[in-house]
Amino acid sequence: MHWFKLVFTDNFTRTFKLASSIDKMSSKIQKIAVFTSGGDAPGMNACIRAVTRGGIHHGLEVVGIHNGYNGMIDGEYAVLQSYQVGNIIRRGGTILKTARSERFRTKKGMAKAHAALKKHGIEAVVAIGGDGTFSGANEFTDKYEIPFIGIPATIDNDMFGTDNTIGYDTALNTVVEAVDKIRDTADAHNRLFIVEVMGKDAGFIALRSGIAVGAEAVLVPETDTHVDSLLALLAKGWKSKRTGWVVMVAEGDDAGGAFKIAEQVKEKFGHFDIRVSVLGHQQRGGAPTCMDRVLATRLGVGAIEGILEGRSKVMVGIVNNEILYTDFSKATKHHKEINKHLLELTRILS
């Protein structure tokens, strides 16, 4: 009767129909699992919390799978209670642990995972991870009937079907804080720092953090790096008596990374005082930012709603501030393009 009273407009009518469909689906699915896979990302814990409490809110039993696909195969399952995910929203890493699994790539591994899921009565699975996680889930659901919904959690922000991935904003802020400190010593000693950040196939971290710290140049995998152009830029800056330099490099840049670039610069400009700083895995850690906590929460609840609507083989994302579901095949094969306007900004401001 309560829902019937809400049916006054087209919008409310759609809300009524959605609520009805969720109630209908929830009577079919009663037990779900959630796991984290691949590289860790700040905000994974916030997402586990949202999936757990969102599922419990809809009357579902939520099971946590430890150690990614390996744990799925080996039967590392434990029921999650609401109190167990209290206060984890602020923690980095993942309480469920994570791993990359070669065994899950095999027919035998997938068969064992399916048998374990059925043994524990799992009727749907929420996978928190990135490209490799969703590729595995896509292949698994082609063979077995258990629905999977993915939540994008990777600091690289390279998933198609969402404006941002969980962990990206925190990683950016980690890089900016580190490079701001590096800039102080660069200015104090008139040094050139070549800073390498994560991004094997995508330069989103290097590009945005490079703009934020005022880097003199940003080198990313999406564009060809012409070292001669970089050398010309440095020569121009030297003549203008600029002091303190920062060049941001994504690890997957085609010039070979920070150390190789430093060697080439040293050959041309022996008078430069050059240092290389590889920020490494500190970009994966730390407490998630407000943006990542909210994003993880919205996506976690969005995954539960997707399951209750009968969705499978999709990644839940947010595009233009709206929840969007994208097929795994598109999310993993259609790589997000880098913003060419932001690249041009780095050239203008250098």
Active site residues per annotation: 156
Asked if 335 and 222 count as a contact pair (C-beta separation under 8 A), the reply is no
3-state secondary structure of 261: helix
Query: What does the alpha-carbon distance between residue 127 and residue 125 come to, in Å, rounded to a whole number?
Result: 6
Query: What does the alpha-carbon distance between residue 81 and residue 64 come to, in Å, rounded to a whole number?
Result: 10
Query: What does the alpha-carbon distance between residue 297 and residue 147 come to, in Å, rounded to a whole number?
Result: 21
Count other C-beta atoms under 10 Å from residue 288's C-beta: 27
Query: What does the alpha-carbon distance between residue 246 and residue 265 come to, in Å, rounded to a whole number?
Result: 13
- Structure token pair of residue 247: 């060049």
42 contact partners, CB below 8 Å, separation of at least 6: 92, 93, 155, 166, 167, 170, 171, 284, 285, 286, 287, 288, 289, 292
Query: What does the alpha-carbon distance between residue 190 and residue 213 come to, in Å, rounded to a whole number?
Result: 17
**Beta strands 322-327 and 314-319, pairing class:** antiparallel
Q: What is the DSSP string of 86-112?
A: TT-TT--S-TT-----SGGGSHHHHHH
- Whole-angstrom CA distances from 68 to 118, 129, 181, 212, 232 are 17, 9, 36, 34, 47
